[in-house]
Structure 1
Amino acid sequence: MTVTSQAKPHVDYSVYLVTGRELLPRGKTYTECLEEALKGGVTVVQVREKTAETGEFLSIARQTIEICRRYNVPVLINDRIDIALASGADGIHVGQTDMPLAEARKLLPPNAIIGVSCNNIEHVKAAIAGGADYLGLGSIFPTNTKDVTEPGRIPGISGTQDMLAVLEGTTIQSVAIGGIKIDNLARVLHGCSSPNGHGLDGIAVVSEIMASPEPRIAAERLAKTCSSWKSVPRRPVSFTTPLSSAVAYVRRSAELLELVRTLSPLVHQITNNVVKTQSANATLALGGSPIMAAAAEEQVDLARIPGGLLINFGTVEDVGGMLAAGREANKNRKPIVFDPVGVGATAHRRATATRLLDAWQATVIKGNAAEIGAVAKLEEVASKGVDSVGSGFKDPATVVRTLARKQRCIVILSGHIDYISDGDTVIQVSNGHPLLSQITGSGCMLGTTVATFCGAASMEAEKEPSETDPGTLVKGDMLSPAVAGVLALTIASERAAARDTVLGPGSFLPALIDELSLLTPDTIESSAKITVNTL
């Protein structure tokens, strides 16, 4: 498998190792690390030597090729075409400041593999036009192995989604690179996908293997997660098992209410100071167990406890705790409900939302029209503080479906009619009462009820015997509990408003908490007003 062979070698890009001898731990040689990594499942190797003299670089390249040939793994050289030709490597990888792709193609044999680093859509378009075989997309996260301080060098998850959309319909493969570790790998694989489901072909890592005292184990973990991810047919959205009808969703909502009261899920809430008391009370009323803990130091322990996580950044505080909590929840496959309160009001809120969504995978994103519009980067609905201004979206069903596909999660658009989608099915809930809009934090309480039901559903799924799948982030159907959370609050609001003792918003709030506690499965089944539309 060399550049002098007739056919271009097939490359499995699943686990792409970029070498970095400077990262080797004490007592571990380069060749030992490389061979252990190959035994663990590395599928392609790029030799990167930024400071080595030409002779030393050539020697390292030849050693690498000799070892990799035993495992039938192709070897690429970073930047240096002379080294690739002299060593007999399978191809090269070039960056945006290295030799232009067109010139590299002229100098190399026609069967040589050429990869290109891309940080934005324009880079991707140029690489497609130039005939690249694969693209390295990133950086996904900040990394110490490469200078990413220049603006635009960290496109993150959302920027990578946009680049993958450009690759749709081509045969060019792609790997994500930059700060990828086993702890965030499932998020990277899941999040880095175009709205139509065009995903990555692999991930490139440096320090996760090269700096590990056990490179074989590190490679095995990466390979297992990648293999698990690839074994599932790519769909626009996971997390869901679509039900057959509106009646089925209503019945499932009733079942989930009983489940909440049986399992009493811990609902971990990092939420704003304005609504902590009523959010905790709503959780208790439904049968869950609330905890409000925002310190980053607590998140490892809390994420191990089954239940749900709500991240509500209404007062944009405790961002460090939000980042840590989301990462740990992903690691423990715990559902995350993200409520970006007032996200469209300020640039700081928008930047914070992007930072959070790049750091972890949300299970549910919930917001009013202005908030969903800001996350979706639409301008149909403006915001005034945390409230929406205007009549709403002309086609809300398409908005939630499209955003769900892009963010690969459940999306809830709250309003006079609530819209819930997983990117395929759109469910409309017509329950509710105008008094909900006249109390502070009713939208935040909706995030709480959804997190409570999602937490119970994930606990139910954990009890079912199944083989652990490291490529998933949440076990079980999450569309149904999202619907159940919406129905619980909106039906309770109707019943609270109907009380003779409720004269306005001041008496409505305690009555709402009462009705959440009095809610029964029969009440949900008899009161729910939903319609279901599936593509």
Structure 2
Amino acid sequence: MKPPPNNLIYLITNRKSYQSDDRGSESDKQIEAVRIAAEAGCQLIQIREKDLDTGALSRFSRSAIEAAHRYDKKVLINDRLDVAFAVGADGVHLRVDSIPCSAARRAADARGLTDFMIGVSTHSLDQALDAWDSGADFIVCGPVFETPTKMAYGAPLGLERFGEICRRVRIPVIALGGVTLANYREALEAGAAGIAAIGLFANPDKLKLDEVIKELLT
């Protein structure tokens, strides 16, 4: 399929970063954030709500897809290929230790989903090369910068190693991990096709979400 464009923004959901109140539930607020981001130009949204059971995840995902498709933006489901198929998502985002990308591609092809997108999370050059070789449309690679949320993956790659990964694979590489409004341009200059983040979009440094998206797209 056609790879995603360069300079793309990949919003990863985390409804737990919002609080339920009289204005809506945490899920309502996250869906509204998806709508705002899509309207502002965010091209890809990943539904990453690991604590939800299949039914709740499906309902949440359908709402997010409806919000994003209103602006012709794409939604991928984190790791749950079954849910991605069931809700009509645009693709799936696989963990590095998940089912093989090639198996996901065969399953999509068997359903006639020729435009089904497959992204893969990677944390090293070897993993990035494996994902490329197995047919991923793009990879998300990190952590690029220091971040407390990605400690399990070891020390940050840094811009030099991240840049090597961007040069060695022939699919878009999206930077993740510690990305802020202060350093995102460094990742792009190193070769990133775009930026992925959770915290940046949930807590956008006192800027409104749409303003953050527009800043990243400039």
* TM-score interval (norm. to shorter): 0.7 to 0.9
Q: Is the 8 A contact 1:119 1:137 kept in 2?
A: yes
Once the 2 structures are TM-superposed, how far is the Cα of residue 140 of structure 1 from its aligned partner?
0.8
Alignment of 1:317-336 (within 5 A): none
Residue 22 of structure 1 corresponds to which residue in structure 2? 16
The aligned runs of 1:30-41 (5 Å cut-off) are: 30-41=30-41
- CA offset at residue 35 of structure 1? 1.5
Secondary structure at the aligned position of 1:183 is classed as: coil
State the alpha-carbon separation in 2 of the partners of residues 39 and 144 from structure 1.
30
Quote the residue 1:270 is aligned against. Answer: none
Residue 148 in structure 1 maps to residue 151 in structure 2: yes
The match for 2:200 is 208
Separation in structure 2 between the aligned mates of residue 64 and residue 208 of structure 1, nearest angstrom? 19
Secondary structure in 2 matching 1:149 = helix
Aligned to 1:294: none
After TM superposition, list the pairs within 5 Å mapping 1:400-411 onto structure 2.
none
Matched with 1:132 is: 136
Report the AA paired with residue 108 of structure 2. Answer: L
Contact 1:16 1:44 in 2 (8 A): yes
Residues in 2 aligned to 1:122 and 1:189: alpha-carbon distance in whole angstroms: 21
> Is the contact between residue 25 and residue 211 of structure 1 (CA under 8 Å) also seen in structure 2?
no
1:12 aligns with 2:5: yes
- Residues 155-166 of structure 1 aligned to structure 2 (within 5 Å): 155-166=157-168
Q: Which residue of 2 aligns with 1:223?
A: 217
**SS of equivalent to 1:182:** coil
SS in 2 for 1:181: coil
Counterpart Cα distance in 2 of 1:163 and 1:30: 32
Change (3 A) 1:159 1:10: closer
Q: Does the C-alpha gap of structure 1 residues 120 and 148 become closer, same or farther in structure 2, counting only changes over 3 Å? A: same
Bigger relative contact order, structure 1 or 2 (CA pairs below 8 A, ≥6 apart): 2
User: For the residues of structure 2 that align with 1:21 and 1:142, how far apart are their CA atoms?
Assistant: 23
- The alpha-carbon deviation at position 133 of structure 1 amounts to 0.6
Secondary structure of the residue that 1:204 maps to in structure 2?
Answer: strand
CA contact (8 A) 1:102 1:130 kept: yes
Which letter does structure 2 place at the counterpart of 1:159? R
Match of 2:105 in 1: 105
Deviation string for 1:67-104 (max 9, x for gaps)? 11111101111100011000101111111122222222
Aligned ranges 1:134-533 → 2 under 5 Å: 134-145=138-149, 147-151=150-154, 154-167=156-169, 170=170, 172-190=171-189, 192=190, 199-212=191-204, 214-224=208-218
CA distance in 1, matches of 2:2, 2:65: 14
Question: Residues 513-534 of structure 1, C-alpha deviation per residue, up to 9 Å, x if partnerless?
Answer: xxxxxxxxxxxxxxxxxxxxxx
Deviation of residue 182 (structure 1)?
A: 0.8
Unmatched tracts of structure 2, length 5 or more = none
Give the direction of change, closer, same or farther, for the CA distance of 1:132–1:150 in structure 2 (3 Å limit). Answer: closer
User: 1:513 aligns to what?
Assistant: none
Q: Which amino acid counterpart does residue 9 of structure 2 have in structure 1? A: V
Q: Taking structure 1 as reference, are residues 91 and 36 closer, same or farther at Cα in structure 2, changes over 3 Å only? A: same
Tell me the alpha carbon deviations over residues 236-273 of structure 1, each in whole angstroms, 9 at most, x when there is no partner: xxxxxxxxxxxxxxxxxxxxxxxxxxxxxxxxxxxxxx
Q: Tell me by how many angstroms 1:24 deviates.
A: 2.5
Report deviation, 1:157: 1.2
SS at match of 2:96: coil
CA distance in 1, matches of 2:147, 2:52: 21
Separation of aligned partners in 2, 1:43 and 1:215: 14
Cα distance change, pair 201–102 in 1 and its aligned pair in 2 (3 A): same
Gaps of 5+ in 1: 1-7, 193-198, 225-535
Distance across 1 between alignment mates of 2:158 and 2:60: 32
Check conservation: 2:34, 2:45, Cα contact below 8 A: no
- Structure having the higher Rg: 1
Over residues 210-236 of structure 1, what are the superposed CA-to-partner deviations in whole Å (9 max), with x where a residue is unaligned?
Answer: 233621112121122xxxxxxxxxxxx
SS in 1 for 2:64: helix
Q: Decide whether aligned partners of structure 1 residues 9 and 75 sit closer, same or farther in structure 2, where only a CA change above 3 A counts.
A: farther
Distance change in 2, residues 1:58/1:144 (3 Å): farther
Kindly tell me the number of residue pairs found equivalent between the two proteins: 205
- Deviation per CA, 1:146-171, whole angstroms, max 9, x where unpaired? x433436x21212111211212xx3x
Relative to 1, partners in 2 of residues 1:61 and 1:78: Cα closer, same or farther, differing over 3 Å?
A: same
Among all aligned residue pairs of Structure 1 and Structure 2, give the percentage whose two residues are the same amino acid.
29
Return the TM-score normalized by structure 2.
0.85
Opposite residue 38 of structure 1, the aligned amino acid is: A
SS where residue 175 of structure 2 aligns? strand
Question: Could you say if the C-alpha distance between residues 80 and 160 of structure 1 is closer, same or farther in structure 2, counting changes exceeding 3 Å?
Answer: same
Q: Report the CA distance shift for 1:112/1:35 in structure 2 as closer, same or farther (over 3 A).
A: same
TM-score calculated relative to the size of structure 1:
0.36
Residues of 2 paired with 1:10 and 1:160: CA distance?
Answer: 20
Aligned to 1:237: none
Deviation at 1:177, TM superposition (A): 0.7
